Amino acid sequence: MYKDRGLIIKHIPYGDSSRIIKCFTQEKGLITLFVRIPKKGPSRALYQTGSFIEISAPNYRKGSMLSPKDVKWDSNIPNQALAFETHTIWLFTLELLQKSLAEEFQLTQLHERVYSYYAHLLYEEIATNPTISLLNIAASLGVIDLNGINPLLESTLIEDLNKLGWNLKHHKHPAMKDTEIFNTELERFLSHFNIQHLESLILLD
């Protein structure tokens, strides 16, 4: 029996009662699920983008679309709504993942850091700053070297990144402002993955 934890980063309706789901899992990385959903009831929300789930399936074959036997809320993640401003940052995070992750490429550190990031957002222990999300994902994917740009970062940004497991040093005189870092690294990220547009950027304005 294959069991895993995952974050739904995309869902595609397939008829009236089914969905194709892209799920970023702890063990296998990004995988594709085919699920049947109930016509009514609270469990329909389980299959929405942004849901943290636990899945059980009779087998796992690389390159195949998995049909889980059981899907339920991840018991390690509180099932409660984010505040509006926090939710917009989370949507930005989900879109970054959706447009950068490759199928079945295990990224355990990124998976843990994304879960940690969500928990910090939920309990308001980290700033609602898209730069944190961008740098966290880009560095975990190897697009940027956080140690290389460390001297450029403001102290508050370093503090929040260190909450996610990065070990960055503080500098008295950062060389760049937060907005400059965000614009520079976002351009690098989009170019690296050949991304033409991020819809969630509209929500951040």
Domain 2-73: CATH superfamily, name plus number: Nucleic acid-binding proteins (2.40.50.140)
Q: Contact 120/163 with Cβ under 8 angstroms?
A: yes
State which amino acid sits at residue 167: N
Q: Contact 152/176 with Cβ under 8 angstroms?
A: yes
Note the pLDDT of residue 104.
Answer: 83
Distance of alpha carbon 17 from alpha carbon 201, whole angstroms: 31
**CA dihedral sign, ordered 139, 145, 147, 152:** negative
The residues pairing with 33 across neighbouring beta strands, listed in sequence order, are: 21, 66
> What is the token pair recorded at 68?
């889980």
Per-residue pLDDT of the chain (205 residues; tens, 9 = 90+): 888 999 999 988 887 788 899 999 998 999 998 888 877 666 677 888 999 999 988 877 776 778 888 888 998 888 777 888 899 999 999 999 999 999 888 898 999 999 999 999 999 999 999 999 999 999 999 999 999 999 989 899 999 999 999 999 988 777 778 899 999 999 999 999 999 999 999 988 7
Say which residue the tokens 């899945």 belong to.
Answer: 55
**CA dihedral sign, ordered 132, 137, 140, 146:** negative
Distance of alpha carbon 26 from alpha carbon 111, whole angstroms: 6
Note the pLDDT of residue 42.
Answer: 63
In sequence order, what are the residues at sequence separation of 6 or more whose Cβ sits closer than 8 angstroms to the Cβ of residue 176?
152, 153, 184
Q: Where are the domains of the chain?
A: 2-73, 84-204
Please give the model's pTM, rounded to 2 decimal places: 0.91
- Identify each DSSP E strand in the chain by its residue range: 2-14, 18-25, 29-36, 52-57, 70-73
